[in-house]
Structure 1
Amino acid sequence: MQLPHQLLQHRLTRFYDDEVRSRYFRGLDFAGPQGDPGWFGPGSAVWHVHSHMPALVFGLQCAAYLERFDPSIFWMGVDHSRIVAHAEDGEPTGLVDPEGAAVRLGHSVSFFIATAYGSTADAERVARTVRAMHHTVKGVRPDGLGYDADDADWLRWNYATVVWGLATAHEYYHPNPLRGKKIDRYYGEFVKVGHALGGTDLPHTKAETLECLHSYLPKLALTYGAAMATGPNLSASESGPFGADFIDWAIRDTLPSWAAAMVMHRAPNPIERTIRQASVWAVINGIHTAMGPLPEFRLAQKRVSGRRVGAPSAPEYELGSDPVRSRAKAEQMA
């Protein structure tokens, strides 16, 4: 007879196998070639950050939330993806299609796991695939402005939202978060991914990334789709102790102050905020504990086992387990 935590582990592992790995990891080999460290390797900040799958997924959601403030990204989604729902006559509703969003998330998880833990050849291959896909994302918004996923400014903004989301989720909710110069090391390492996707003049530190995000403010707006998918506009059916509004609040809580102001987000009193954050921390880390380390991470460790790597190992990082202090370090600039 399985114990409750074993049942939860089985359900989570089976869900990940059926809904993510079998659909989005096809063709990826994390076991070979022997000795290949991939793009980053053991001891890298990327290996440490990406090894916590629930925090990684939460970080991608934070990044997607911030991305939606760019109207061009919203219309890219309308014209070139299934993220935005369409009515029976084919016209976009402006609302998020849950199934389409799940597909986008699955592809994103696959990409960031493959570039972190895959072989060098696989990391380069998935990057070429995504970059080729971006070449096709061009069009004109209803207001007459054109958009182009190969535009250098757009690539820089989009890259900044992603690395900010992943790093911020890590700082807030990883049990052993990197801080200070050590999280800057993650920002610096991750630039390799941005360059592989065609990015140039990319930010290399947390401060540079926050400055990049803030500099784009004159180009941003609150689209109808973004407004209807957050805060009080979430339907009653999406509420609940761990429903969409629970995650929505957690995402808004991570936003830089200027971004929070765009959706009129106000932090509750410090006691309530601490309780809310602790609840999110418990859920994210409870899932991670139940799932255990990703098989892809373990395969990558075995692939490079015995290989001498010059980078410091994970225990040399300044690690801590206090979620409140970690979040305080992660407060965003005004």
Structure 2
Amino acid sequence: MPRANPLAARFERAFDTDIRSRFFRGLAFDGPDGDPGWFGPGSAVWYVHSHLPTVILGLVAAAYIEGLDPSISWMAHDHSRLVERADGVPTGAIDEEGAKVRLGHSLSFFLGTAYGSTATAERLARTVRAMHHTIKGTRPDGLPYDADDPEWLRWNYATVVWGLATAHERYHRRPLRGAGLDRYYGEFTRVGEALGGTDLPATKAEVAACLESYLPRLAVSPIKAFSTGPNLRGNGVPPWRPGSEFMDWAARDMLPEWARKLAMYRPPNPVTLRARRSALWLAVNGLHEATGPLPEYRQAEARVAGGTTEPVASTAPAAPDAVLSRAEVEAVPNALV
């Protein structure tokens, strides 16, 4: 039985303690009966997001390419808990606890919008939009940034769906390909629309073209350079955790060719490259096979076992959001900060 695997049992205990108990509170996966949520059984999103290790890997890759936009780097520097602060002043280091919190909230969002009830998915989206409304400022070079900017929302959306789909395509044991993978890209636009995105790319080719179209505004800023490549050597982060040298390599190895050049990524020799990719493939699939589907996935399956109601017609915001302060947003359960 899968649950007899000691590594799987350890992973599940850690996930329950560090993630589920802290960031899944208040999320409904087991009801109401028949509610398909945003996607429902048989969807490509249900299939892709059911493989938790590749979802985590995809989010790491998405965060990497997203940060090639200097404005994103400054948004994180000025507003995110990812950055360590002393008396409110950024030190230039990564806040380890803040990184764990960000990963936990990201997982609750992408699993909650995939498998949660319609009301759960909508609440998560409202919380993220509320936080975006608070993220505005000016870079040191005088350029303003605004997390509600449609161009930023499109870039952010494209990086996330690219990361999740690319990790799935490369490291899932039985990945969707071709039309099946394009179905995932098309379905996932519902998440981007719910966060306020418009004119979103809906296929693998469209997402690739969208990402490359942003190249003139991208750069490896000092903030980005600090947290990648040789600067991570000897940082003591275990290889399987985000922020480690190995996970940094895995993210850069998935980048499009133009992004590899921007990040000055040079792959190792073919033998080493094959060995690293094979080791990662075996690790993520071994862990997934040992743990099996998450309880939230099984709860969602049970919720729709007797049939489903019609899904909501649109996830785009129907009315302007209430304006909340950052403190008010952080007081909301599962606030993604």
Interval containing the TM-score (normalised by the shorter chain): 0.7 to 0.9
Q: Which residue of 2 aligns with 1:43?
A: 42
Moved over 4 A (4+): 2-5, 239-243
Name the residue aligned to 1:54: 53
What does residue 30 of structure 2 align with?
Answer: 31
- Aligned with 2:92: secondary structure? strand
Once the two structures are TM-superposed, the CA of residue 9 in structure 1 deviates from its matched residue by: 2.0
Note if contact 2:133-2:148 (Cα within 8 Å) is conserved in structure 1. Answer: yes
On the 8 A contact 1:95/1:225 being kept in 2, the answer is no
Provide the rounded CA distance (Å) in 2 between the counterparts of 1:108 and 1:239.
20
1:102 aligned to 97, 100, 103, which one?
100
Equivalences for 1:151-162 in 2 at 5 Å?
Answer: 151-162=149-160
- Cα distance, 1:46 vs structure 2: 0.1
Q: Does 1:229 align with 2:219?
A: no
How far the C-alpha of 1:193 sits from its partner, in A, is 0.5
Using the alignment, how far apart are the partners of 1:224 and 1:207 within structure 2? 31
Contact 1:52 1:288 (C-alpha < 8 Å) held by counterparts = yes
CA–CA separation in structure 1 for the residues paired with 2:306 and 2:68: 46
RMSD of aligned Cα (Å): 2.1
Q: 1: CA distance between counterparts of 2:95 and 2:221?
A: 16
Counterpart of 2:90, as a letter, is P
Q: Does 1:248 align with 2:248?
A: yes
Give SS of 1:238's match: coil
Deviates more, 1:3-12 or 1:175-184: 3-12
Determine if the alignment matches structure 1 residue 263 to structure 2 residue 245.
Answer: no
Correspondence for 2:168: 170
CA 1:114–1:239: 2 relative to 1, 3 Å: closer
Identical aligned residues as a percent? 62
Query: Quick one: which amino acid aligns to residue 72 of structure 1?
Result: S
Please, which of 111, 133, 136 is the counterpart of residue 135 of structure 1? 133
Alpha-carbon distance, 1:204 to partner: 0.4
Distance 1:136 1:241 in 2: 34
- Which residue in 2 is equivalent to 1:194? 192
Counterpart amino acid of residue 18 in structure 1: T
The equivalent of 1:328 in structure 2 is: none
- Once the two structures are overlaid, the 10-residue window that deviates more, 219-228 or 45-54, is 219-228
- Decide whether the 8 Å contact of 1:96 with 1:225 is kept in 2: no
Match of 2:66 in 1: 67
Q: 1:153 to 1:287 in 2, by over 3 A?
A: same
* Counterpart-to-counterpart distance in 1, 2:27 and 2:223: 34
TM-score (norm 1): 0.88
Q: Secondary structure at the match of 2:16?
A: helix
1:117 aligns with 2:115: yes
**Residue in 2 that maps onto 1:274:** 274
Alpha carbons 1:239, 1:246 under 8 Å: kept: no
For the 8 Å contact 1:59–1:170, the answer to whether it is kept is yes
Look up the equivalent residue of 2:110 and give its one-letter code. F
Q: 1:3/1:157 Cα in 2 relative to 1: closer, same or farther (>3 Å)?
A: closer
Aligned with 2:5: secondary structure? Answer: helix
Deviation at 1:93, TM superposition (A): 3.0
- CA change 1:74–1:307 in 2 (3 A) is same
Q: Which residue does the alignment assign to 1:206?
A: 204
C-alpha distance in 2, partners of 1:225/1:177? 34
Q: Which residue of 1 aligns with 2:83?
A: 84
Cα separation, partners in 2 of 1:188 and 1:3, compared to 1, 3 Å: closer
Preserved contact between residue 184 and residue 206 of structure 1 (Cα < 8 Å):
yes
Structure 2 residue 169 is matched with structure 1 residue 148: no
Distance 1:121 1:242, change over 3 A: closer
Deviation at 1:242, TM superposition (A): 5.3
Residues 209 and 54 of structure 1: CA distance in aligned 2, closer, same or farther (over 3 Å): same
Q: C-alpha deviations, 1:100-131, integer Å up to 9, x for none?
A: 11111111100000100001111111111111
Give, in angstroms, the shift of residue 241 of structure 1: 6.4
For 2:207 and 2:158, locate their aligned partners in 1 and report how far apart those are by CA, in whole Å: 6
Query: Hey, what's the Cα distance between the residues in 2 that align with 1:309 and 1:273?
Result: 47
Are the equivalent residues in 1 in contact too, given 2:35–2:309 (CA < 8 A)?
Answer: no
1:139 aligns to what SS in structure 2? Answer: strand
Q: Structure 1: how far apart are the matches of 2:121 and 2:237?
A: 38
1:315 equivalent in structure 2: none
* Aligned AA (1:122): T
In the other structure, the counterpart of 2:324 is none
| Structure 2 residue identity aligned to 1:250 | A
- Using structure 2 for the length normalisation, give the TM-score: 0.87
Aligned 1:307-326 pairs, distance under 5 A: 307=307
Between 184-193 and 221-230, report the one with greater CA deviation: 221-230
Deviations 1:34-62 (A, max 9, x none): 01111101110000000001100110000
By relative contact order (CA 8 Å, sep 6+), the higher-ranking structure is 2
Structure 2 regions of 5+ residues with no counterpart? 311-337
Name the structure 1 match of 2:286: 286
Contact residue 128 and residue 197 of structure 1 kept, 8 A: yes
Count of residue pairs the alignment pairs up:
309
Cα deviation code 1:125-148 (max 9, x no counterpart): 111111111111111111111110
Query: Is the 8 Å Cα contact of residues 35 and 308 (structure 2) preserved in structure 1?
Result: no
CA contact (8 A) 1:253 1:267 kept: yes
Q: Is the 8 A contact 2:29 2:117 kept in 1?
A: yes
Contact 2:2 2:289 in 1 (8 A): no
